Structure 1
């Protein structure tokens, strides 16, 4: 089934996108990545005979894949063109689905922002040593000087 799934995925990739990357995961799932359209499709064997689980999702900015947004079970006996139609429908659902939280426009100001949604602290313009750091450095130097003085007077 794995070799058959890889062959079918190769034909399917040619039908869907000109530019694509095809790879097999350890679980036997075959993934087709269309980086130029920022979408991916995976074909996984199911328990049924000649059936595959088709999942579709988005590729995020960093190149990582987002979780699947839509999925369907399709039969391999129908042919590659019917499987391509199922994939196109799932890709259309993926494109028309709700935007991820980072892309959704905000409607008004929330009363209390969650910790994950808060903007990070601004980066300081300079990296100079602060007053408290200088005080700690002077205290350490003073302790070392007292130790050396006591050591020198002992002899």
Structure 2
């Protein structure tokens, strides 16, 4: 099974990326790393004949790999073009999940370059004037009552 995975991975790597590294992972699968696009693809055996688990993820700063974002079981007897299409779809999903959301700006609005983006932020909700709730006052009243009973017992109630 490893030979078939390795062969398929080499073909996929050549179709997907010009610069790539193909290596074996601990679990018996094969990993294709595209350092220039900061993505990886993994082909792992599933236990079934001619089937593999295809996973995709991204490469973090420092070269470590992030956990797989997407995965799908594929048929290895399908052509390289079909497998490459599945890989591209998974890589697009990984890229979409990793991209930060851009703020929406109104067109036609001219801003100075050095100006802070404070005007784009939503206004804060109004702050309530009361900082201590009724529950807190009740707890304080109970503590004062327990302290009063203790002081009465120690200093005044028994006639020592």
In our comparison, the structure showing a higher alpha carbon Rg is 2
The 5 A counterparts of 1:5-84 are: 5-84=5-84
Q: CA deviation at 1:81?
A: 1.1
Over aligned residue pairs, what C-alpha RMSD do you find? 1.8
Task: Provide the residue aligned with 2:91 in structure 1.
Answer: 91
CA distance in 2, matches of 1:82, 1:46: 19
CA distance in 1, matches of 2:26, 2:62: 23
Q: Point out where structure 2 has 5 or more consecutive residues left out of the alignment.
A: 103-120, 123-160
Distance 1:63 1:69, change over 3 A: same
CA distance in 1, matches of 2:62, 2:98: 20
CA distance in 2, matches of 1:26, 1:86: 24
What's the CA shift string for 1:40-72, capped at 9, x where partnerless?
A: 000001022211100000000110000001111
Residue 49 of structure 1 aligns to a residue in which SS?
coil
Q: CA deviation at 1:4?
A: 1.0
Structure 1 stretches of 4+ moved >4 Å = none
The 5 A counterparts of 1:92-131 are: 92-99=92-99
Q: Give the TM-score, by structure 2 length.
A: 0.61
Q: CA deviation at 1:104?
A: 7.4
The 5 A counterparts of 1:135-150 are: none
Residue 96 of structure 1 aligns to a residue in which SS?
helix
